[in-house]
Structures are given as structure tokens and as C-alpha cells.
Amino acid sequence: MARKSVTLVRAVLGLVNATNAASPLLRAGNPGIVTFAYGWPSGEAAGLLLGSSVLSAVRRGRRGDFSGTSGRIALVITAITWAILGFIFNRSLRSRPAFEQPLHDLIGPDSAADSKGPRVPGMLRTMVSRRKYNTQTVKYGPHRANLADIWRRPDLPLDGKAPVLLQVPGGGWMLGDRRPQAYPLLSHLAERGWICVSIGYRVSPKHAWPAHIIDVKQALAWIKENIANYGGDPDFVAISGGSAGGHLSSLAALTPGDTQWQPGFEDADTSVVAAVPVYGRYDWFSFDGPGRPEMMHALQHMIIKKRFSTDSQIFLDASPIKRIGPDAPPFFVLHGTDDTMIAVQEGRDFVAALREESLEPVAYAEIPNAQHAFDVLGSAHGRYTAEAITRFLEWVRAEKSKALTPADEVG
């Protein structure tokens, strides 16, 4: 009897989990964080979860867990859960147009040249991609956290001047672990001949702002000075990141050479040719809106450790949406409509401000039903994200190449 009760409870919890993954049950504030933590793995790994659940049910059915009234009810609930997981999996597979259409509008239809090359690895291959492409870990700055993984194809020539991407991890400014974030993107770019630099940086509450952005700037300075030794082109460095990394990457892209965040390396070149923030936080000053009060509380008490009422300029300076100007580089912004950590409206507002001020192209992909961190795994969302970002960055590179004069090319 006890086993059958456990089977029924397990089935109910599985149904709640799948339902939450299909459409978040709670969307604002701290409950939204719980919703994300509970539903994101099931949403992005729905296919794997469905397969493992079926195998588990077969095994439990053979030992009699689904016999009796409670067992039959559990089996019906489990079957409903399977249907929901299948729906989520198929919905994700059908989301490709949301990634492609913004680039179609900006660049034009996908061409045969764009589609050539290796495909993005699936979920299982993505998990082990670091072993193939992470050729070296280096120290880019003076602090213990200043470590960077260099992702490059082993056969890449050292004199090839490969394009470079700096990947800034997320983690709410309090984690910042470079592993295992953005593996689908890093492995795809590396296979296509890029060099990717994935960094760690100082995090709160041990380190107060602006340690985080100083480290990102330090990484950019290191890349410009050293990446040629690895076969990279210091004149073509783009930047990307998700969540807190989306905030830091966009802020770095909009503030090249800002001396307040380059102590000891004020003259270093920290400019980038393009920025791709994914589900980022672009506003560090608003108190109104979903999750905003909790966000501002965290900034004041754990990250900046100063009050907005007395030091508002620090918060405004750290807000990418307040640092936009006509000299902003090309941007490609991605955000999910079901993001319960950072509401999609934040991405929309940032893109609107960019398009109003910037003289460079701005692309925006809003992914239907996507939660926070939709690009981390090698799921359909993760693969489509990697493909879209790669196409955008390679278009920027092609446009930059076209803009060179013959004199520039000879020099």
C-alpha cells in the first residue's frame, strides 16, 4: 500500500512539474524563481524526461506499482504527463521561425552559404563539447576568479586571425560560473573556426559592484592584447552572455573605454564589434513591475550594497538602457516570453531604446513559451539560439569586411 501511495504522489508531482514547464504557474517575484527552478529542466529536456519516464513506468509496472485503484489513477496521470511533455518537445521544435525571422528581416533570406558547415550538436554531445574545444584555461586578470576557458578547434592555425567571441556567464551577479553555460553556442562557433573566451569573474556578496564589470573589461583588454597568440583577430571581438551575463555584456558593449570601470588599464581598448545579450537585465533603477522590488532589494543589499535613495547614479550608470548612444555596436537581443526571472518586457524596452538611439542594426528575437536560460542545454531552443547568433555574428563580420577600403586591406 505504501508503495502505491508513493506512486500516486510521484505521478501528481510529475504532472504539476510538466504543467509548470508548459506554462509557468507563478510568474512574478520570488515565486517566479521557484517556478523557473522547478520547470526549466523539464521544459528544455522534455524529450529526455519523456523517454526516461516511460522506461521508469515500464519497470514500475512490472513490479505492480500500477495495480489497484490508486495505481490505475497514477497511470492515467502519468499518461497525461507524457502527453504534456510531448507537447512541450514538439512546441520547442516548431520555434525555429522565432529565431530566424528577425535575421531574415535584417539580413535577408537564409542562403546556401549561410547554411553550410557543421550542425549544432544535440543535448548529449553538447554536454561533453568542452572536452573537444576547451584547449586551455588562462588567467586574464589579477584576481582569483579571473580565469578564462579558450575554446578553439585544435587544428586552427595560429596565424589565421579567427573571429573572437567573449562569453560572459550569468548567475545573478552572485555565481558567475563559466561552466556549463552557452555550450551549444561555444561549440558551434569553435567548430566553424571561431575562438571563444568564456570567463569567470568576481561575484557578490563577497565582491560589491563594480567588480563584475571591471573584470569583464579586464577580459576584453586581455583578449585585445593576447588573443593573436591563439590565432584570434583582436580587431574582431564580439561579446555575448545570458541573464546577468546579458547585463554585463550589453553594458560593456555600450561603455568602451569608460575609465571608472578600467582602473589601472584606463587606456586599454575594450570596444566590441557586436553584442548579443540573451534574456538580460537592462534596468537597475525601476522599482515597479514583475520582480522589480525583489531585484532592487538584492542590488541594494547584496550586489551594490548602497541605497538607491542616496546613490542613485551608481544604479543608473550600471543600467545598459541608460548608456545607449548613437555609437552603440550592432545588437542582437533574445528573450523568452515565459521568462519568470526577468520579464520579457525588459527585453522589449531595451530593444526599443536601442532602435531609437543607435545608428547600427538592432535585431530582436522573442521566443514564444521560452523560459529563462533556454539556450544552456543542447535542446531545440539551445540549437536554434546557437545557429541564430552565429548567423548574426558572421553577417556582422562580412559587413565589416565589405566596409574595409583597399588601403585598409593592404595594411
State yes or no: is 372 an active-site residue.
yes
- Residue 401's closest CA among 393, 389, 409? 409
State yes or no: is 375 an active-site residue.
no
Question: Starting from the edge strand earliest in sequence, which strands make up the sheet with 147-151, in order?
Answer: 134-139, 147-151, 195-199, 162-168, 232-242, 275-278, 331-336, 362-367
- Residue 16's closest CA among 77, 57, 72, 61? 77
Query: DSSP label at 122?
Result: -
Which residue of the set 70, 204, 240, 243 is catalytic? 243
Pair 354, 320: CB distance under 8 Å = no
Cell triple for 268: 586599454
State yes or no: is 105 an active-site residue.
no
- Residue 369's closest CA among 338, 325, 409, 333? 338
Which residue of the set 188, 212, 372, 381 is catalytic? 372
Cell triple for 310: 542616496
- Residue 230's closest CA among 96, 314, 136? 136
Segments of 80-228 assigned E as strands: 134-139, 147-151, 162-168, 195-199
Which residue of the set 339, 358, 375, 379 is catalytic? 339
Q: Which helix (H) or strand (E) holds 275?
A: strand 275-278
Pair 190, 153: CB distance under 8 Å = yes
- Residues known to be catalytic: 243, 339, 372
